[in-house]
Amino acid sequence: MKKYLDISEEVKKALSENKPVVALESTIISHGMPYPKNVETALRVEEEVRKNGAVPATVAIIGGRLKAGLTKDEIEYFGKKGTLITKASRRDIPALIARKEDGATTVAATMIIASLAGIDVFATGGIGGVHRGAETTMDISADMDELSKTGVMVVCAGAKAILDLPLTMEYLETKGVNVIGYTTDELPAFYTRKSGLKVVWRCDTPEEIADIWKVQKDIYPGTGLLVTNPIPEEYSMDSDYINREIDIAIKEMNKLGIKGKETTPYLLDKIQKLTGGESLEANIKLVLNNAMLASKVAVELKK
């Protein structure tokens, strides 16, 4: 698949010189928040990566080309076009390449492209997982399987709070995915720091995470690692409040018959409106926090 891949000059140079690189997804730009906040946030996240000693590589599909590293103009293009761009997961990549179309990469698709480019570390907001009611709908994000078969470390604030978190953790365990809590024994719940669910291992420094990843790459080179990083305390939302708003959003979504890959963008937008923008600000803060940690781990990996 490397013949379909374009690596930006900045990222290519960093990789050739064995410098730390952090991959970033593009769905958060097109489907995660409104314009121009989405572009502002994407550029702030890239700057956060640089500030902490690594090179950012925002990942996307443009005109059928897999991209590892976007220009400011390309990020602006994604931000303005927004939800008109296809939300791309593993299954969508071949068709988008063949049709020379654009794709905003989810966690799964970003992992694939990062792996092809030789990038080990990827920072995102929250991963997809097992949706509420999945025992009847079988709605499970492709991110779950990707973590079990693609060798990229994913740094996130846990699974998105709109999901069934206990079932998500069970699914990850079944797939043999190691879940690390950074400075926590408990799975963060995206907007909040706690979920009541235990992580597999706790690490208190970026060095510890890097050490585990080095061993895992030697033993299981084709398996991902999930690093969960709690939203900073000062931006964490009240769990009862945000869960109440999530329940309202889910009921509205079910009434409208929204399903599949449209579920997450609809719920994030609805919750942002229900909370008067508070959830959007929390989302931005946690993404920046994850970019910072991912960069520090990427730097440690190169020492």
Catalytic residue among 25, 46, 74, 300: 25
Q: Name every residue whose Cβ is closer than 8 Å to that of residue 160 and which is 6 or more positions away in sequence.
A: 125, 126, 127, 128, 129, 190, 264, 268
Surface-to-core class of residue 186, CB atoms within 10 Å of its CB (0-12 exposed, 13-18 middle, 19+ buried): middle
DSSP string, 90-129: GGGHHHHHHTT--EEE-HHHHHHHHHHHT--EEE-S-B--
C-alpha–C-alpha distance, residues 146 and 277, integer Å: 31
Pairing of strands 65-68, 103-105: unpaired
Are the beta carbons of 92 and 109 closer than 8 angstroms? yes
Number of CB atoms found within 10 A of residue 106's CB: 28
Q: Does the annotation mark 10 as catalytic?
A: no
What domain range includes position 247?
A: 2-301
| Long-range contacts, 280-285 (Cβ 8 Å, 24+) | 280/33, 280/37, 281/235, 282/191, 282/231, 282/235, 282/236, 282/237, 283/32, 283/33, 283/125, 283/191, 284/33, 284/37, 284/41, 284/44, 285/231, 285/232, 285/235
Q: Is the peptide bond before 265 cis (omega within 30 degrees of 0)?
A: no
pLDDT at 1: 66
- At 227, give phi and psi (nearest 5°): -105, 120
Q: How many domains does the chain have?
A: 1
Is position 17 annotated as part of the catalytic site?
no
Q: Which residues contact 187 (CB under 8 A, 6 or more apart)?
A: 158, 159, 165, 169, 179, 181, 195, 197, 198, 199, 228
- DSSP conformational letter for 236: P
End-to-end CA distance of the chain: 30
Tens of pLDDT, residues 108-127:
999 999 999 999 999 999 99
Q: Which residues, in sequence order, are bridge partners of residue 75?
A: none
Tokens of 98: 């063949």
pTM of the complete model beyond 0.85: yes
Q: Please provide the average confidence, as pLDDT, over all residues in the chain.
A: 93
Q: Please, where are the H alpha helices in the chain? A: 9-16, 27-30, 37-51, 72-81, 93-98, 107-117, 134-137, 142-149, 165-174, 206-219, 239-256, 263-274, 278-301
Here the CATH number for the domain that contains residue 237 is 3.40.1790.10
128-137, 159-168, 200-209, range with the lowest pLDDT: 128-137
pLDDT bracket for residue 208 (50, 70, 90): very high
257-300 tens-digit pLDDT: 887 777 777 877 788 788 887 888 999 999 999 999 999 999 99
- Position 183 scores a pLDDT of 98
Catalytic residue among 12, 67, 87, 160: 160
Return the DSSP state at 3.
G
Q: What is the pLDDT of residues 37-90, one digit of tens each?
A: 999 999 999 999 999 999 999 999 999 999 999 999 999 999 999 999 999 999
